[in-house]
Amino acid sequence: MAKKVAFIGLGNMGGGMAANLVKAGFEVHAFDLSPAAQAHAKEEGCGIAETAAAAVEGVDFVVSMLPNGTIVESVYIDNDALLDVIPNTALVLDCSTVAPANSQRVGKEAAARGIRFVDAPVSGGVAAAAAGTLAFMVGGEEANFEAAREVLQPMGANIFRAGDVGAGQVAKICNNMLLAIHMAGTAEALQLGIDNGLDPKVLSDIMLKSSGCNWSLEKYNPVPGVMEGVPASNNYQGGFMVDLMLKDLGLAMEASLHSKSSIPMGSAARNLFSLHKNAEGEDKGAKDFSSIQQLYAKPQA
């Protein structure tokens, strides 16, 4: 008999993740407030629950992919109070990107009810979610991490245990802060070359074989027309939104204040993305974060 998974949150990331669980043979009970997201999940083979509480009835696993920590705490503890209805034999995996304190609160409340919990934020974006090649950064007890592999493997190519509950969120915050820094730097360097007469494709090829090589340059070039299949070549549509990057950089700032860490480059990246978001009076928050290139580009004559 197929194991049952409740999947809460069927947005750009969650929809693809839930579909991969169906393909792996799980019986997926899905819930989202969006009728369009529900319809898409149904097309992918998910059963649609009328409420989050109905979705978790009798399941073996609960997976959530939600927008922020306030909503995560509301769903599990405060308003929907799913922890009061989830079977105590189930394992809960929250894949949302939230503050470590959010995960720790949910983990503590889950433990008080005898429910196993891990935080498991992801890296890789919408394409990786659809392809089942995400990286998962997991925080939780070793035994719970090992049990989580069963449901994580159909959705991800790389699964890491970062430490105890909340550690997955710390790892994700650090990763995305670095991603913002090297994307902003890559865009800046490429625009400097363009402004001085270089072909961005030629410059990219040179830097890819030189010491400036990085993930943004290799996998996600921010200059339109240089690389196929990336948001930059689709008017910066799809991918990882500027608003989400700003959210993650805000989480990095919160974490640095808690640990009294110095993050001058993370702070600079946050300022750059904030400046880009509202440059020229246009809210670019829904564009892919590689659109930071537009902050540096000069207007066409």
Active-site positions read: 172
Q: How far apart are CA 293 and CA 272, in angstroms?
A: 11
Q: Are 116 and 91 in contact (CB under 8 A)?
A: yes
Q: Indicate the SS3 state at residue 216.
A: helix
Give the separation between CA 273 and CA 156, rounded to whole angstroms. Answer: 28
* Residue 28, strand partner residues: 5
Task: Let me know if 262 is exposed, middle or buried by CB neighbors in 10 A (0-12, 13-18, 19+).
Answer: exposed
**Each residue of 167-185: b (16+ CB within 10 Å) or e?**
bbbbbbbbbbbbbbbbbbb
Q: How many CB atoms lie within 10 A of CB 293?
A: 23
Reported as half-sphere exposure (CB side, CA atoms, 13 A), residue 114 has a value of 4
Cα–Cα distance for residue pair 288/276, rounded to 1 Å: 12
Taking 3-state DSSP, the helix, strand and coil percentages for the chain, each rounded to the nearest 5, stand at 55, 15, 35
Q: By CB neighbour count within 10 A (0-12 exposed, 13-18 middle, 19+ buried), where does 69 fall?
A: buried
Which helix or strand (DSSP H or E) is residue 168 part of? Answer: helix 167-195
> Please, are residues 230 and 215 in contact by the beta-carbon 8 Å criterion?
no
